[in-house]
Amino acid sequence: MASDYRARIVRDATVCGGAPVIRGTRVTLKTILASLAEGATEQEILADFPTLTAADVRAVIAFAAASAGEDIPLSRIPLAS
């Protein structure tokens, strides 16, 4: 289940400098989110990182959605004109 991202995302000081990664890989959340932001499809990400599953990509999106309200102060998001 994508919303249960905690089962798929881990931090280990000895892997990628402690950056969050998909469990059992060295693929960081930042890498996956950057790929999505650049317009990569889930299929393209899975082709680029064959150790990942579709559920891993959805877990990263769920993590980002859950984190959006916590990590970025609303004052830093520009108001619409």
Domains of the chain, first to last: 5-70 (1.10.10.10)
Residue 74 has a pLDDT of: 54
Please state the pTM of the whole predicted model. 0.80
What pLDDT digit, counting tens, does each position of 25-78 carry?
999 999 999 999 999 999 999 999 999 999 999 999 998 988 876 655 555 555
Q: Judging by beta carbons within 10 Å of its beta carbon (0-12, 13-18, 19+), is residue 63 exposed, middle or buried?
A: buried
* Extended beta strands in 1-81, E state: 9-10, 21-22
Residue 42 has a pLDDT of: 97
* Phi and psi, residue 25, nearest 5°: -130, 180
* Phi and psi, residue 9, nearest 5°: -110, 130
Q: Token pair for residue 80?
A: 């619409």
